[in-house]
Amino acid sequence: MDKIVLLPDLAKQDNFYQENYLLFLRRKLRAAKIPCQLYLINENTSDNESFVAINNLTDTYYLFDQILGINTLSNPLFLADLKIPTDLIPNFQDSRTDSVTFWQGEQRVLTVKLNKFGWVRQVVSYQSDCFIQDNYDVRGFKITTEYFDKYTSQVLKKEWFNNYGELIMTQQNSSIVIAANQRKRFRQATYNSELEIVKEFLLQHVDDKTLFIADTDPDTINLRLTLPEQFRFCFLITDSATVPVGQNIGRFHNIKYAFRTVSLRDDFLQIAPEVKQEDCQLITPVIEKANLSLSNKLVAKIIYWHTGEILPALIKDYLNQLLTIMSEQKDVELVIDATEVLQAVILQQLNLLIKDAGEKTKPAPINTPAVVNRVSCQTLAFQEEKKLMRQARIYLDTGTKSNFTLQLEALQAGIPQFARQSNGLITPEVNGDLVADNGALPEQLSLFLRSLDKWNNSVIENTRIIEQMKPSQVVEQWRELL
C-alpha cells in the first residue's frame, strides 16, 4: 500500500471520540497493520493541548522541527522556571485563561499564560508602543516571538527560533527572511509565506504516491492548492462549517471526501456539483461497546430535549406537545438543553402557562404549576450531556440539522431517539422515530414511555446497530476509500 500521511488540524476535537478524529484513525489503522504517519505542519506550541497529547509519538513527524532545526526531548516550562524580576508583583490571576499578570506599582509589565497542565504557553510583555508575545513549545523553549501594535493588535513582526534560542527566520512586511547563518538549509533567502516553506520541506519526504488524509481547515486546503495536482488527498467533512470548502477544492482531481453523515454529503454536493458521488464516502462511526442508560432503574422518566437550531414558533409548539405528555404521565420529567436565546423563549412560554393557570382562563391541564415544575432548562456542556444521556428514558432532537454526536451518545446509551434526521441511526418505531411538524409527538414518545417492553426493544435494536460499528468494519471502509 502507498504511504499514508495524516494531516490533522489539532484544534479540531471530536467530542464523541474525545480527541481529533485523525488521531483516533491512526490508532485503528495501526492496529489493523496499515502503516501511516502523522505529519504536523504547524508550530508545536503548548498553546494547543493536542500537541501535548501526542508529544513524542514515534510515528509523528513535526515539520517545523526540521524547518527550525529543532532536536530535543526537553521538558515543559513552568511558571517557577521563568526568570521574573523580584520587584514585580503577581497580583492578578484569571482562572478562565490560567494567566498571571505581573505589576510594577500601577504599571502592568507582563502576563504569563499557562495551559491546563500548568505549562508556560505564552509570555506577554508590555512596551510603550507595542506588546511582545513569546510563544513556547511544549518542550519548554521559546519557538516564536510576535510583536503587536499596541492600539490595533496588528502583527508587526514575527520571529522563529530553535531550541538553542538561535534566530531562524523573520517575517515582516509580508515576506519571510531566512537568517544568514541558516540559509544553507533553505532553497531561498526569502519567502512570501509560511506555506511556501512548509511545501518545500514537505516535498522532501513525500511523492505523488503518497495519500494524504486531512482535516478540512485553511492550512491543509491551501497546502493542497499549492501542491501538484497528481498528489492524492482525502478530506474529512465532519461538520457543517467545513461544507463550504467544496467551492475551493471541488474542482481538483485526485481528491476524495469522507463524510460523517448523509446530510453533510448532500449539502456538499449541492455546493460542489462537479464532485462525483463515487468520490464521496460515508464513514461509519466507531462504537467499541454500548454504555447503557440507567433510566429503567430510575423513578422519574426523563425526556432529554436538545432543541438544536429551531424557530421560536416551533419551540412553543413542541413545548406544548411535551407538556401534554407530562400532564398525562405524572412520573415524566423534561430536561431542556437550549441556547440562552431559546431558553428565554421557553421560560416566557412557561410563565405564560402558569399565569393562565392562576387566572383560570385556559382549562387545559398542561398549564398547571405541577406540570411546569417538572421542567428544567439550561445550556449543557458536552460532558453534562453525556451524563444526562445515561439517565434519560428518551432523547429528542428538534434541530433542523440533528446533532450527530448526541445521536451517537443516545445510540450507545441504548435509549430511543427522535430527531428530524435519522443519519442511519433510527429504525422507525423500533428505536425511535423521525420528528414531524404535525403534532404527533405525544403519541410517538408515549409508545416508549408507557411500555418498558418497547423501550427494551429499542435497546436490542441499538445494540444491533452498534455491532455494525466495530473498528474492523470502519477500517474496511477506509481500505475501500484508500
What confidence category does residue 52 fall into, taking pLDDT thresholds of 50, 70 and 90? very low
| Residue 55 · residue 138 · CB < 8 Å | yes
* Helical spans, DSSP H, in 299-440: 312-328, 340-359, 369-372, 382-389, 404-413
Q: What is the CATH number of domain 4-72+196-282?
A: 3.40.50.2000
When the pLDDT of each residue in the chain is averaged and rounded to a whole number, the result is: 87
pLDDT, tens digit, 9 for 90 and up, residues 284-320: 898 888 888 887 777 789 999 999 998 888 898 999 9
Residue 390 pLDDT greater than 90, yes or no? yes
Determine how β-strand 280-282 pairs with β-strand 255-259.
Answer: parallel
For 207-219, the DSSP string reads -TT-EEEEE-SHH
Domain range 79-188, CATH class:
alpha beta
**Other beta carbons within 10 Å of 217:** 20
pLDDT, mean of residues 82-86: 91
Q: Which residue, chain included where needed, has cell 467499541?
A: 288
Sheet strands side by side (includes 417-419): 375-378, 332-337, 301-306, 394-397, 417-419, 432-434
Name the residue with higher pLDDT: 9 or 44.
9
| Residue 112 · residue 122 · CB < 8 Å | yes
Name the residue with higher pLDDT: 56 or 321.
321
What confidence category does residue 124 fall into, taking pLDDT thresholds of 50, 70 and 90? very high
Is pTM beyond 0.75? Reply is yes
Name the residue with higher pLDDT: 277 or 56.
277
For the record, the C-alpha cell of 5 comes out as 500521511
3-state secondary structure of 233: strand
Domain 4-72+196-282 and domain 295-467, same fold? Reply is yes
Determine the pLDDT at residue 369: 75
pLDDT, mean of residues 108-126: 90
pLDDT, tens digit, 9 for 90 and up, residues 147-185: 999 889 999 999 999 999 999 999 998 899 999 999 999
- Residue 178's DSSP bridge partners are 169
Q: Which residue, chain included where needed, has cell 526569502?
A: 190
| Residue 223 · residue 235 · CB < 8 Å | no
3-state secondary structure of 435: coil
Determine the pLDDT at residue 357: 59
| Residue 16 · residue 24 · CB < 8 Å | no
Residue 403 pLDDT greater than 50, yes or no? yes
Rounded distance between C-alpha atoms, residue 453 and residue 2, angstroms: 51
Determine the pLDDT at residue 332: 94
Determine the pLDDT at residue 375: 94
Determine the pLDDT at residue 313: 84
Domain boundaries, the chain: 4-72+196-282, 79-188, 295-467
Rounded distance between C-alpha atoms, residue 389 and residue 303, angstroms: 10
Name the residue with higher pLDDT: 56 or 428.
428
Determine the pLDDT at residue 359: 57
pLDDT, tens digit, 9 for 90 and up, residues 221-236: 889 988 888 899 999 9
Q: Which residues, in sequence order, are CB contacts of 141 under 8 Å at separation 6+? A: 72, 74, 77, 161, 163, 165
Name the residue with higher pLDDT: 214 or 43.
214
- The fraction of the chain above a pLDDT of 90, given in percent, is 49
pLDDT, mean of residues 333-343: 95
Match domain 295-467 to its CATH number in 3.40.50.10710, 3.40.50.2000, 3.90.1570.10, 3.40.50.1820: 3.40.50.2000
